[in-house]
Structure 1
Amino acid sequence: MGTNRNDLTGKVVVITGGSGGLGEQIAYAAARQNATVVVCARRINLLGKVRHNCEDLSGAPAFAFQLDVANPENIKEVVERIHDEVGAIDVLVNNAGFGHFEEALTFDMDLAEKMFRVNVLGLMYMTQLVAIEMADRGAGHIINIASQAAKMATQKSSIYSATKFAVLGYSNALRLELKPLGVYVTTVNPGPIETNFFDIADETGEYLKKVDLLVLDPTIVAKRIVGIINVPRRELNMPKLMEFAGKMYTLFPHVGDYLAGTLFNNK
């Protein structure tokens, strides 16, 4: 009888932004594979429910910690608590982040700075602290949730795309640095996912309707992410049409600009 490659029994899986949306579904998918799930987020009032659901799914203890990834001191405190109260982190899923769709000329730069602190710098602080321990053990997996916006920028996503381009570049270099140390780094680049992300990102409420055929189910995305844990995979891209468009954007820039300005200009 073969072993289940995706069985995560005994593995500590930490998920930032785990109080709802994709992060919540990743937590449940990991719990179904018997992981010891640790969810972190600012919304502590929602984390208790996620932790309880994970315990029901895995039959093992799960943990929840309030975390503001924009605060480096809070990140350090929470990582230390996880180490002391749960154990060494085997898998880190950097999922916390937010977006806001608006033209660059009118974008509130205070909000832009906050977006970089959450989407980029917070991810880097968290990753560095966890990766140091992983490198010392010679094992671990860091999964950074970027976006198809890291592959192809479109109108009204200048700031959000900039943060995700930064995550992709950081992840690509980090993967090369950590590979000889036995630590995997994977970047996940999803297109639009049907979550509350768009409650903030799209004030019009029309974007998901316009891209209905491209919208991803968060439970399916989460299952695919958990399915690549402990697999040395460079990237996970979805949906296929946006992955193809991203490749066109790189290989044929003029065609890419055309696609970005027409087919994928829905904000």
Structure 2
Amino acid sequence: MKNLLITGATGDIAREIAKQVQGYRLILLSRDVSSLKDISEHLYQVNLTDEKALIATCQQISQDCGAIDVLINNAGYGYFKPFLTDTTSDVRQMFDVNVLALMTVTRTFLPDMIAQKSGQIINIASIASYMATSKTTAYAATKFAVRGFSDALRQEVADANIKVLVVNTGPVLTKFHAANPDYLKKVGKNAVTATFVAKKIVAHLQTSKRELNLPWQLNLARIFAINFPNVVDKITRRFFNIK
């Protein structure tokens, strides 16, 4: 049976993927696995910001289960905060979780994928990696980094038949936005459910798709932003300052 591993497994999107996926040995990695016992028996608990512990845990997973066939780097978090209120510690913590842990996990499992000449890496980024908005400076920076890393890695591992998929979502109805209900009210028409995002991801397991941009409305906005950045800056500056 092929192995599918999800980091940040207590997240809403991760849980929905775990519910929907079939035909894989499901391996879940999280800082707290107590709420995951009804989903999978292959649970591994670790603090993602502890690099030595994270590497050791990933190595233990490989020893227990063998090579990972699908790696879904879902772990990550964000907040809305003006840049001048951010501390270096806040920013470093977000990069540790959203970027460096993702790279560490990928680096640990990648040699086995290369050896078997197959595999898929799915990195959960954000539409913010294309359309950065006010009060998301640190978060947007991490998601730009995830997308850049993914695009470069895709070229490095192509000859080993390893696929890299980046998932960029707009607002998702998860606990990520629980602290800012007014924001969700404003963007409600463009918000999607974790179930919807998970369904799209599961539909693209083992495919060569390089990028998913969800929902379609924000994908159009993303394309518009690439071609008309000054116009989009003016629009988003007014609209997204509601955060």
Tell me whether the two structures share a fold, i.e. TM-score over 0.5.
Answer: yes
3-state SS, counterpart of residue 211 of structure 1 = helix
Task: Measure, in 2, the Cα distance between the counterparts of 1:214 and 1:162.
Answer: 22
Quote how far apart the aligned CAs of 1:162 are. 0.4
The answer as to 2:215 corresponding to 1:239 is: yes
The answer for the alignment partner of 1:44 in structure 2 is: 33
Partner letter of residue 108 of structure 2? Answer: L
Quote how far apart the aligned CAs of 1:258 are. 2.1
Equivalent residue runs for 1:74-153 within 5 Å: 74-153=53-132
Task: Measure, in 1, the Cα distance between the counterparts of 2:111 and 2:242.
Answer: 41
Task: Measure, in 1, the Cα distance between the counterparts of 2:48 and 2:213.
Answer: 25
Contact in 1 for aligned 2:5/2:71 (Cα 8 Å) = yes
3-state SS, counterpart of residue 262 of structure 1 = helix
Two-structure CA RMSD over aligned residues (Å): 1.3
Structure 2: give runs of 5+ residues left out of the alignment: none
Equivalent residue runs for 1:6-85 within 5 Å: 10-30=1-21, 33-51=22-40, 62-85=41-64
Task: Measure, in 1, the Cα distance between the counterparts of 2:108 and 2:71.
Answer: 11
3-state SS, counterpart of residue 206 of structure 1 = helix
Quote how far apart the aligned CAs of 1:251 are. 1.1
String of CA shifts for 1:177-218, please: whole Å, max 9, x gaps: 11111100010001111111224xxx4432212211111111
| Identical residues among aligned pairs (%) | 38
Contact in 1 for aligned 2:150/2:164 (Cα 8 Å) = yes
3-state SS, counterpart of residue 207 of structure 1 = helix
Structure 1: give runs of 5+ residues left out of the alignment: 1-9, 52-61
Task: Measure, in 2, the Cα distance between the counterparts of 1:103 and 1:49.
Answer: 39
3-state SS, counterpart of residue 213 of structure 1 = helix
Task: Measure, in 1, the Cα distance between the counterparts of 2:101 and 2:42.
Answer: 21
Task: Measure, in 1, the Cα distance between the counterparts of 2:27 and 2:242.
Answer: 36
Partner letter of residue 213 of structure 1? Answer: K
Quote how far apart the aligned CAs of 1:169 are. 0.5
TM-score with structure 2 length normalisation? 0.95
The answer as to 2:239 corresponding to 1:260 is: no
Give 4+ residue runs of structure 1 displaced > 4 Å after superposition: none
Partner letter of residue 23 of structure 2? Answer: N
Partner letter of residue 103 of structure 1? Answer: P
1:230 to 185, 192, 206: 206
3-state SS, counterpart of residue 144 of structure 2 = helix
Task: Measure, in 2, the Cα distance between the counterparts of 1:159 and 1:92.
Answer: 25
The answer as to 2:157 corresponding to 1:181 is: no
Quote how far apart the aligned CAs of 1:20 are. 3.1
Quote how far apart the aligned CAs of 1:262 are. 3.1
Quote how far apart the aligned CAs of 1:265 are. 4.2
Contact in 2 for aligned 1:40/1:47 (Cα 8 Å) = no
The answer for the alignment partner of 1:248 in structure 2 is: 224
String of CA shifts for 1:13-46, please: whole Å, max 9, x gaps: 000011231111111121xx22110111111222
